[in-house]
Chains A and B, each alone.
Chain A
């Protein structure tokens, strides 16, 4: 008998990963936006993501909605605990989401909406990173509810994870532009990606070195037999991926840096999984304690099993329709 709770844990993890992979690069373009020259270059950067950002962001709703459906107790504990960063994230997403349309509608205030696009993207990325850090460092739970205050999430560690995610998203955005653009914007993206890669590696090192000391559980996972066997491979894998990413950014096929940046993200997510498994609220609630009843799991799994492949298929198609370089020839 397959444990449906584990299946659902992986479905939610997949949704979160899909979100980070897809919305990560378009948030990243928002984060880098003020660095692009006003005019064609900004328009090109924006246009490289305009047809797909909405679909990308839907994975965030899937992550939240899926958590409510599959692990309602976790949803009920985590969301009030992370109240401030989540509200900040939502407001950030409001600003950046409408900027896609508004900047074209109001040339007189395009500068303002460009700023809103950037600030909203930074706020969303930062908040998501803070949420991650706050979850990792543990939240106070009593009975079936959050039992802490509304500033508990704010610590040096959660700020560090917040900044790390912003840097990581920016790297994804820069490498996306390497892939999708040519000319000066392409060159600029390559140069930015180099710096961002260094920044991300530092961030990964800091957060990875910090995490095991937050909770005894993490420490045991990473430094005691047999976990250390797997753990030892992670820095190695990150180093190898970073080496190839560095080379690809310097010169290489245009799609390569983006792919390798995703590999780096993937590795950090595996690392996270190693730390927290099998908790859904780290240190407090396991996936089995939070799981929805079997009838809910089965009902949703039928839908998810059929629909997620279909969704992936038409998402791939939508990306395929807009494949290739974004061309400034489009705007006269």
Chain B
């Protein structure tokens, strides 16, 4: 008994570790691919060198990010089977086809056109190269579409039938499976988060170089573009997040109870607990700072509306409160900090001091990683909040694990931790090294390591994955 618990906990830790690490890369590359697409479009339209230089600058960073996303993603596609084989067997007929569609419509598209995007400008010409960039960007989005549909189905399963052999079988309509109730909200919320993540990284790099040289045209351009994103998208994201929360309240109330720290029910208006220390043993939040009736106002749009608490949920069906409570607060806090930067940038623009306000630039540098923090915190909120279920309400996490010995899982977990920190740590350093370099006006004449020049092709300014 104890042994099986051990293997389960280790398997959960391993999945949490590998998926959290993996998620960092697509959270960045989804937005970055679109950013590159916009830059190349602006370049083709206006012919201005600054866009071309920024494209080359960020392409090198994209190449590293993408490579790390690919290799950590392949791990994920096998983790379902190696560690969660019962889940794979039972849910495979429903989620398997969605993941197959992800491979067919997204992974091949990204990978097929990435080579041309990184190394092919001399060979295919500007227009076709732009098409390749668009395909890669489109691929990242389609990938998010399918994998979030799968995840949403695990949160709010619909459109299935139970087979005699215990498998979830697809019902007559795939539409009901793909567009399950939480999917539209999760998709918009997550993709927007990816765009914001990228915007804040780009903004931080721009701000960093503005602090050194406020005349650098590349730094100015990227900072301005990023701050427009922050000012426009951060408020939208907060609104979308609120909608997503209401959707969760409807379909997974226990998750919202944990997010809110509502151990007990409030028949006449629930408080909004801003901060506090959830105490699961005593079933209360210690040292709570709360706004009376605030939670009912937000969730029900009526300060006196009754809200049920975790005391209405069977003990074995409750998610862990502490992690969910804190992760949620970190995410929301990041969201509002992003909004703050966005508003500050608007003020700076109004005063014509956008490139000339070191305080703003320092704050933007500080906020560079905020998107990653928010994305991971949000992911933890929704995934831990789904516990103890892997398919919400239907299949328990504890019943979904592979028949593995604890030492096997422990060994692989240690291997993943060592390798990921070493390899992705190095990759992060290389990215930071590239970011530290100011975007130069002569980015295009930098000598390049070039995969692939056929003899006889005239060398032209190249967009390349790297320089030597």
How far is A86 from B79 in the complex, measured between Cα atoms in Å?
Answer: 10
Residues of A within 8 A of B407 (CB): 150
Establish whether residues B77 and A61, one from each chain, have CB atoms under 8 Å apart when the complex forms.
yes
Given A295-B170, A330-B450, check contact A321 B92 (CB 8 Å).
Answer: no
> By the criterion of a CB under 8 Å from any partner CB, how many residues of chain A are at the interface?
78
Interface code B428-468, partner A: CB below 8 Å = 1, 0 otherwise? 00100110000000000001111111110000000001111
B83 to chain A, nearest CB (A): 8
| Highest count of chain A CB atoms <10 Å: which of B67, B113, B407, B419 | B67
- Of B117-125, B231-239, B373-381, the segment with at least 4 beta carbons within 8 Å of chain A is B117-125
- Of A73-81, A223-231, A235-243, A270-278, the segment with at least 4 beta carbons within 8 Å of chain B is A73-81
Is B412 positioned at the interface, with any CB of A under 8 Å from its CB? yes
How far is A47 from B464 in the complex, measured between Cα atoms in Å?
Answer: 12
B92, closest chain A residue (CB):
A72
Interface code A78-108, partner B: CB below 8 Å = 1, 0 otherwise? 1110011011001101110110111011110
Which of A79, A80, A322, A324 is in CB contact (< 8 Å) with B455? A324
B91, closest chain A residue (CB):
A72
Query: Which residues 276-302 in A have Cβ within 8 Å of B in the complex?
Result: 292-293, 295-296, 299-300
Is B30 positioned at the interface, with any CB of A under 8 Å from its CB? no
Given A51-B115, A68-B81, check contact A58 B107 (CB 8 Å).
Answer: yes
Establish whether residues B451 and A330, one from each chain, have CB atoms under 8 Å apart when the complex forms.
yes
A53 to chain B, nearest CB (A): 8
Residues of A within 8 A of B88 (CB): 68, 72, 75-76, 79
How far is A308 from B103 in the complex, measured between Cα atoms in Å?
Answer: 10
Residues of A within 8 A of B165 (CB): 144
Residues of B within 8 A of A62 (CB): 100, 103-104, 107-108
Establish whether residues B455 and A329, one from each chain, have CB atoms under 8 Å apart when the complex forms.
yes
Binding site of B, secondary structure by majority: helix, strand, loop or mixed?
helix
How far is A311 from B106 in the complex, measured between Cα atoms in Å?
Answer: 10
Which of A43, A51, A150, A299 is in CB contact (< 8 Å) with B116? A51
Establish whether residues B82 and A79, one from each chain, have CB atoms under 8 Å apart when the complex forms.
yes
Establish whether residues A79 and B120, one from each chain, have CB atoms under 8 Å apart when the complex forms.
no
Is B247 positioned at the interface, with any CB of A under 8 Å from its CB? no
Residues of B within 8 A of A73 (CB): 89, 92
Residues of A within 8 A of B92 (CB): 68-69, 72-73, 75-76, 292
A74 to chain B, nearest CB (A): 9
Given A54-B111, A303-B104, A322-B452, check contact A78 B81 (CB 8 Å).
Answer: yes
A67, closest chain B residue (CB):
B81
How far is A34 from B102 in the complex, measured between Cα atoms in Å?
Answer: 36
Which of B74, B78, B115, B170 is in CB contact (< 8 Å) with A322? B115
Establish whether residues B408 and A150, one from each chain, have CB atoms under 8 Å apart when the complex forms.
yes
> By the criterion of a CB under 8 Å from any partner CB, how many residues of chain B are at the interface?
86
A148, closest chain B residue (CB):
B403
Establish whether residues B100 and A300, one from each chain, have CB atoms under 8 Å apart when the complex forms.
yes
Residues of B within 8 A of A315 (CB): 108, 112
Establish whether residues B455 and A94, one from each chain, have CB atoms under 8 Å apart when the complex forms.
no
Establish whether residues A69 and B455, one from each chain, have CB atoms under 8 Å apart when the complex forms.
no
Establish whether residues B77 and A65, one from each chain, have CB atoms under 8 Å apart when the complex forms.
yes
B195 to chain A, nearest CB (A): 23
Query: Which residues 68-88 in B have Cβ within 8 Å of A in the complex?
Result: 68, 70-75, 77-78, 80-83, 85-86, 88
Given A98-B67, A314-B112, check contact A50 B119 (CB 8 Å).
Answer: yes
Interface code A133-165, partner B: CB below 8 Å = 1, 0 otherwise? 000000000001111011000000000000000
B408, closest chain A residue (CB):
A150
Establish whether residues B454 and A98, one from each chain, have CB atoms under 8 Å apart when the complex forms.
no
Given A84-B408, A329-B455, A332-B447, check contact A101 B82 (CB 8 Å).
Answer: no
Residues of B within 8 A of A90 (CB): 74-75, 78
Residues of B within 8 A of A295 (CB): 93, 169-172, 174
Establish whether residues B81 and A75, one from each chain, have CB atoms under 8 Å apart when the complex forms.
yes
How far is A314 from B70 in the complex, measured between Cα atoms in Å?
Answer: 19
Residues of B within 8 A of A68 (CB): 80-81, 88, 92, 96, 99-100
Establish whether residues A308 and B451, one from each chain, have CB atoms under 8 Å apart when the complex forms.
no
Query: Which residues 129-165 in B have Cβ within 8 Å of A in the complex?
Result: 163, 165
Q: B: which residues have CB within 8 A of A?
A: 63-64, 67-68, 70-75, 77-78, 80-83, 85-86, 88-89, 91-94, 96-97, 99-105, 107-116, 118-120, 123-124, 163, 165, 167, 169-172, 174, 402-405, 407-408, 412, 415-416, 419-420, 423, 426-427, 430, 433-434, 447-455, 465-468
A sample of 14 cross-chain residue pairs with beta-carbon separation below 8 angstroms, ordered by A number, consists of A54-B115, A55-B111, A61-B74, A64-B77, A65-B102, A69-B100, A80-B83, A87-B415, A87-B416, A94-B75, A296-B97, A318-B112, A329-B455, A332-B447
The 9 closest A-B pairs by CB, nearest first: A72-B92, A51-B115, A79-B81, A69-B96, A76-B89, A330-B453, A47-B451, A324-B454, A104-B466
